[in-house]
Structures are given as structure tokens and as C-alpha cells.
Amino acid sequence: MKRRTILKSTLSAAVLASVAAGAAWAENPVLKIGFVGVTSGPAAAWGISNQRSMETRAEWINETGGYKIGDTTYDIEIVSFDDQKDPKRAVAGMEKMAQEGIHYVVGPNVDDGAAAVRPVAESNGIMYFPYAFPKSLYQAPASNAVLGMVANYQSGPAIYKHLKEAEGVKTVAFIAANESDPLSQRDGGVAAAKALGLEVVSDSVTYQVDTTDFTPVLTPIMRAKPDLLVLSGVSPANAPQLIRSARELGFSGLISTETAQDAQVLREGAGDLANGFISVGGASTPEIASDMMNEFVERYTDMFGEYNDESNTKVYALEYILETLKANPAAIDDVEAYKVTMDTFEAPNPYMQGDAVLKYVGDSSFGQKRQVAVPLVVNVYQDGAFETMFIAEVD
């Protein structure tokens, strides 16, 4: 009898627990946010830092009860698609997002992918946040893309100007992978350097994107003996090899890039030879990071084992989407309402100390507010870690 009672109680408890768990699970409706970007291959670190930032933040939000937009509290679900840095797959990824009824997508990570998905996004009412720099994506008549970071034509001039004034740089050489992103970044960099009065001593050397040994590629540039070598649009996988080969060939000048890099990858791939390498960092430094940013880094590290400095930038896109939806709940299914809100949107920036705000910028570069405002942090690599070189703002 007693045994039967125990069994009944246990069964009842199990049923109740499962019902309660189901009720808790079903308590919040789900808001799906998409990610279409590169999470495999040499540039995988760019997309993976996006995806992991979004997943970390989404889990954090869900764990603390969800995200309130209007009168409804939502659980956030991240729907991800690896486009393998292939425009055709990026289109397929954006179509998948449309089929799932998703209106807000982070990515793609590169120029050709971002350009390829534009028709799909515009015809299906999707706002997307690329990490790609072609101005045509953000200038009218385009209106669905929002640049998720600082563009090279914004960071490049700032870096060259700083190096010209602080380090006495007079001559500069550019090297880029033979594909659209790096080549367009190289062209933008060359124009910016010339506008600043720097002498460009080499800008024609390019390399195959799958190059593994850069010594033969760099040999002609080394003969030009530039003060500054710019690795235009360099992927995190290629940067350490290029730096290492340049230093081994006797290059003693400065090396910089306008793309984000990974300190651990630099340490492993180039060791001390990477000391002094200048790159655009994630949009945070210990000096400006808020407690929330520090907690984000902790949660990210707990979830994925190691942190990527670039996620200091990548954390922002999801926050901008959610805060803008909070400011105008009607935008949840209506991107036109979202666009209207963007012009006046302002909210406290939870990832920075002080009075910093989230707001859309881009009037200067694009003629309309189609860029998220994040700090421009320029880093210099030193002994296994990035040190802040300077911080600036862009509009």
C-alpha cells in the first residue's frame, strides 16, 4: 500500500513537473532573429563571433525572463545559417529567413554576400545588418541594410592620420587578397592615404585567398621598403602568416589593417613578430566597458570556452534590433515602421560606462541613418593581447 502511494505520488509529481515546465516553456512567445554569415573557412572567426554573441545574449535574456516589447515579453531565438562566404549560399540563407517569417537578420559578413541578399531582403520585408562596406547598400534608394560596424573608409583615414602624425609615416604599401572585399578596401585605403599626402609605394600586389605561405607574395613589396604596410581586408587566418613572413623578410616598419583580428590567433601564428601590429578592435576597452559588457564577456567565455575581442562589436547588432523594437513595438512585423523609428531612436548604451547612447548614424557617409553607432577602437597587439591605441567616434 505504502509502495503504491509512493509510486502514485512520484508519478503525480512527475506529471505536474512536466506540465509546469511546459507551461513555463510556453509562457513567452518566441521572437526569431536571424543570422546569415560565414562560420566556416578562413574567415569563419568573423561570423562565429556574430553568431556566438547573439546566442550568448539571447540565452542571457531568456534566462532572465525574456525581453519585453510593448505588452508582450518574448523569448529570443537565434536562427543561424552558414553562407560559407559564398553569395549564392547567402541568398539561400536569406530566403530561409524569409520562409521562417523573420524580419531582422544580422549579416552577411562580406561585401558580395551582402550585395547578393539585398533583393531578397527588400522583397521580403527584412532589415539586415551586414558587416560589409559598399556604400550602395546603405545609400538611398537602398534602405533595408544597416552597417553593423565601422567601415574601413571611416577607420582607415583615422589610422593613417594618427600614424602620420604620431609615427612619422611617409610611405605606405598595400596588399590584399584577390577578392571583392579586400580589393575594395585596398582601393579605399589607397585613396585615403593619398588624400592625407602619404606616398603609396606599392598597391598592386595581391594574393590568392587560399595562400598559405606569403613569403613569395611579399618579396616584391619588401623591396619598396614602405614605412607602413597595410593588410587590406585581411582575414584573421591570413594576418599572422602575412605578419610573420614580412618580419622574416626583414621588414621593420609598421603593419596595420582595418579589419578586426583575434589576439590568440596572432600569438599562435606570429608570436612576438606580431608585436606592434595595428588593427581595428572590438568596440570596447577595459576603460569604457560597463558591468554589463563585462558580464557578457564572462557569459560568452563560459559558453564557448574562449572569447573573441571582435564580439565587443558584434554584441551590438542584436541589442540595436531589440531596443528599436522596444521603442516601436509596431515594427516587430513592419520594417517600414522600424525605418521611421531609426531616425529619432536613442536609448542608453548598456555596454559602455557613462552617458553613451545607442543611436543610428551614417548621415555623413550614406546620407541617411543606416549605421549603428559603436566606438571606433584602434588596437595595437603586444605580447599576446591588444592594447588600446586610440578611441574615436564616427558618423
Partner 1 sequence: MDQIPQILANGVYLGAQYAMIALGLTLIFALMNVLNFAHGQMYVIGGFVTYTIYGAWGIPFVIALAMSCITLAILGALIEKFLFAPVIKKSARDESTMLLAAAIAFLLDAVILLVFGEKQRGVPKLVDGTTILGDYTLVIANDRILICLLAIASIVGFISFMQFSKTGRALRALAQDRVAAQLMGVNVDRYSMIGFALGAMLAGLVGGLLVTITGINLGMGGPTSIKAFMMVMIGGAGVISGAIAGGIILGFLEAAGLALLASYGDITYLLIFVSLMIFLAIRPQGLMGKPWG
Separation of alpha carbons 138 and 147, rounded Å: 7
Long-range contacts of 305-309 (CB under 8 A, 24+ apart): 306/264, 308/45, 308/48, 308/49, 308/52, 308/262, 308/282, 309/260, 309/261, 309/262, 309/263, 309/281, 309/282, 309/379, 309/386
Separation of alpha carbons 322 and 76, rounded Å: 10
Does residue 295 belong to the site contacting partner 1 (CB under 8 A)?
A: no
Does residue 350 belong to the site contacting partner 1 (CB under 8 A)?
A: no
Max Cα–Cα distance, the chain, nearest Å: 94
Does residue 213 belong to the site contacting partner 1 (CB under 8 A)?
A: yes
Does residue 207 belong to the site contacting partner 1 (CB under 8 A)?
A: yes
In this complex, which beta carbon is closest to partner 1, that of residue 258 or of residue 262?
A: 262
Q: Tell me if residue 72 falls in helix, strand or coil.
A: strand
Does residue 41 belong to the site contacting partner 1 (CB under 8 A)?
A: yes
C-beta of residue 373 within 8 angstroms of C-beta of residue 151: no
Does residue 93 belong to the site contacting partner 1 (CB under 8 A)?
A: no
In this complex, which beta carbon is closest to partner 1, that of residue 157 or of residue 182?
A: 182
296: DSSP letter: H
Taking the complex as a whole, the smallest distance from the CB of residue 156 to partner 1 amounts, in Å, to 21
Does residue 270 belong to the site contacting partner 1 (CB under 8 A)?
A: yes
- Segment lying near partner 1 (by CB under 8 A), choices 131-139, 226-234, 263-271, 281-289: 263-271
Taking residue 66's Cβ as centre, other Cβ atoms within 10 Å add up to: 18
Taking the complex as a whole, the smallest distance from the CB of residue 241 to partner 1 amounts, in Å, to 6
In this complex, which beta carbon is closest to partner 1, that of residue 205 or of residue 292?
A: 205
Question: Which of 79, 200, 249, 361: binder of partner 1 (CB under 8 A)?
Answer: 249
Taking the complex as a whole, the smallest distance from the CB of residue 294 to partner 1 amounts, in Å, to 23
Separation of alpha carbons 237 and 243, rounded Å: 11
- Segment lying near partner 1 (by CB under 8 A), choices 14-22, 154-162, 217-225, 318-326: 217-225
Element at 376 (helix H, strand E): strand 376-382
Does residue 257 belong to the site contacting partner 1 (CB under 8 A)?
A: no
Among positions 160-199, residues that touch partner 1 (CB under 8 A) are 178
Question: Which of 63, 165, 167, 268: binder of partner 1 (CB under 8 A)?
Answer: 268
Binding residues with partner 1: total (CB under 8 A): 38
User: Cell for 395?
Assistant: 558618423
DSSP bridge partners of 289: 352
Does residue 275 belong to the site contacting partner 1 (CB under 8 A)?
A: no
Does residue 215 belong to the site contacting partner 1 (CB under 8 A)?
A: yes
Does residue 113 belong to the site contacting partner 1 (CB under 8 A)?
A: no
Q: Strands 67-69, 72-82: parallel, antiparallel or unpaired by DSSP?
A: antiparallel
In this complex, which beta carbon is closest to partner 1, that of residue 118 or of residue 247?
A: 247
Does residue 264 belong to the site contacting partner 1 (CB under 8 A)?
A: yes
C-beta of residue 357 within 8 angstroms of C-beta of residue 377: no
Does residue 219 belong to the site contacting partner 1 (CB under 8 A)?
A: yes
Nearest alpha carbon to residue 162 among 392, 394, 395: 392
In this complex, which beta carbon is closest to partner 1, that of residue 38 or of residue 280?
A: 38
Does residue 309 belong to the site contacting partner 1 (CB under 8 A)?
A: no
Does residue 210 belong to the site contacting partner 1 (CB under 8 A)?
A: yes
In this complex, which beta carbon is closest to partner 1, that of residue 197 or of residue 250?
A: 250
DSSP bridge partners of 69: 72
- Segment lying near partner 1 (by CB under 8 A), choices 36-44, 93-101, 313-321, 328-336: 36-44
In this complex, which beta carbon is closest to partner 1, that of residue 188 or of residue 269?
A: 269
238: left (phi over 0), alpha (psi -120 to 50) or beta: alpha
178: DSSP letter: S
Q: Tell me if residue 74 falls in helix, strand or coil.
A: strand
Which residues form the interface with partner 1 (CB under 8 A)?
A: 39-42, 44-45, 48, 178, 204-208, 210, 212-213, 215-217, 219-222, 236-238, 240-241, 248-250, 262, 264-265, 268-271
